[in-house]
Every structure is written in structure tokens, then in C-alpha cells.
Amino acid sequence: MPANRRCIDIGSDYNKVMSSQNSPTTVLEPKQDLAKAPPMYQVVLLNDDYTPMEFVVLVLQKFFGKGREQATQIMLKVHREGKGVCGVYPKDIASTKVELVCSFAMQHQHPLQCVMEET
């Protein structure tokens, strides 16, 4: 908004009254929208035939803060269904987790795949 057109929101009733009277004096502009929540991303592990189950459980504990029980449940879901969600994060955090998991898997010579998907 230009600096010489200050906008004071004094309520929708006043807006309606003034527009119906066709007043030339005051321009009432709509309030700016409230900021939207940032888009969120699921970090997803994919199944493969070679990565040891124990390694996947370790990944879920180390990078996603899961306890051993929950990590085992998620690993088994991935093993049976082909993929599973490790966590949901803003874009930059999800991207960092994907990179950390992929590089950890490569260091250990496992083909484990980790990807992100917008929710």
C-alpha cells in the first residue's frame, strides 16, 4: 500500500455503511491475509531386498528420534507395504534428513532409499 494511503480496519460494518453511502473521503482496503502455514513434507523410507532390518531400525532411532519399539513398527511397515513415513517436517528440515539418511546408508554400503513428499 502507498505510504499516503494508510488503511485502518475499523470493522466490516463500518465498511458496509460507508460503501453504501458512497463516501468519497476514505479508502478502506482489505486487511492483508494472515501468513499461511508453511508447506510440510513427509520423509519416507522405501523398501529394498538388501538393507538389514536392524540397520533400518537404527536409522529411525538416530535420525527420527524414534524409540526402539516404534522404529521396529515403522521398519516392518516399510518391509511389508513398500514404504512408510518417518516424520513430517518443513521443507529444509525434511531435505536435510533425506540427505543425512542417504549418505549414512551409502557409507555403510546399503541401498536404503529415503525420499520426501509434500503433504
Binding stretches for ligand TYC (CB under 6 A): 45-49, 51-53, 56, 75, 78-79, 112
Residue nearest to ligand TYC (CB): 78
The smaller minimum CB distance to ligand TYC, of residues 18 and 83, is found at 83
Half-sphere exposure of 55 (CA within 13 A, CB side): 19
Closest C-alpha among 42, 39, 36 to residue 94: 42
| 112 touches 51 (CB < 8 A) | yes
Single-letter amino acid, residue 19? S
Q: If we measure between CA atoms, which residue out of 42, 36, 44 comes closest to residue 89?
A: 42
Query: By C-beta, is 77 or 88 nearer to ligand TYC?
Result: 77
Contacts of 16 (CB under 8 A, 6+ apart): none
Q: How far is the CB of 52 from ligand TYC (least distance, A)?
A: 6
Closest approach of ligand TYC to the CB of residue 37, in Å: 29
CB of 101 to ligand TYC, least distance (A): 10
CB 48 → ligand TYC: shortest distance, Å? 5
